[in-house]
Amino acid sequence: MKSYLAAAIQMTSLPNLEKNLVQAEELIDLAVRQGAELVTLPENFSFLGREAEKIAQAEAIAQQSEKFLKTMAQRFQVTILGGGFPVPVDTDKVYNTALLIDPSGKELARYKKVHLFDVNLPDGNTYRESSTVMAGTELPTVYSSEPLGNLGLSVCYDVRFPELYRHLAYKGADILFVPAAFTAYTGKDHWQVLLQARAIENTCYVIAPAQTGQHYSLRQSHGHAMIIDPWGAIIADAGEKTGVAIAEINPVRLEQVRRQMPSLEHRVFI
């Protein structure tokens, strides 16, 4: 593993596949021009609309999202995480799928989101992800990359389930991906603290690309795409506007924190 720059992209995705992919390409280009070798896109990067619209367009969204990720990785010669897009299971359900692609356009890892966001929030919004999404049944993988480190996948709501990240740490993860479309209501209280907790307890870098702003109707995301170091320090924050959070992933820092705070070695229950 070497030192390199990673980017957590922040988007305001809409119920419009073509516009979203144009926005994503512009932000990938911005990240690469700033030196990023690992670029991460948020959950729902290619489409964020009503559930019925998503299901109706799921086949096209899945095909174009995968093609887009492979094309961008090859064009810019970077590793890209597509943080979540619908892949059809049958006629009325999809998997919320994260995809990791290398600079040659090869698929490195695929993860189907396990924890689904079925919540009634005090602000009056109700979310039923399970109405259109089928939960994955397998723990996320850790992909071992010689230049980039050991990369652990997750998606959004997973961040509330620390046992998933402990599994990734047990499998040797150095970097935890948390691509998200965190709601504005929950994000203001929980987003940052949950990300910092996952970084601290697993002594890992956390890279969390995010959605921000108004997508449609009452759907609004919190923003604050972040990169957090293994000590829990926020080393990049995109704020509330679309853009890119960029920071160095440094193996020396990783080793230093793990030496100073060897909590992974002190685990009693696995």
Options 37, 70, 156, 204, the catalytic residue: 156
Active site residue 204: no
Active site residue 43: yes
Options 43, 54, 66, 112, the catalytic residue: 43
Active site residue 156: yes
Report residue 78 as tokens: 């970077």
Options 37, 70, 113, 204, the catalytic residue: 113
Q: What is the DSSP string of 86-102?
A: EEESSSS-EEEEEEEE-
The phi and psi torsions of 42 (rounded to 5 degrees) equal -75, 170
Beta strand spans in the chain (E): 4-11, 36-41, 79-88, 94-101, 107-112, 118-120, 126-128, 142-145, 149-152, 175-177, 205-208, 210-216, 219-222, 226-228, 234-237, 243-249
- Residue 246's identity, in one-letter code, is I
Catalytic residue IDs: 43, 113, 156
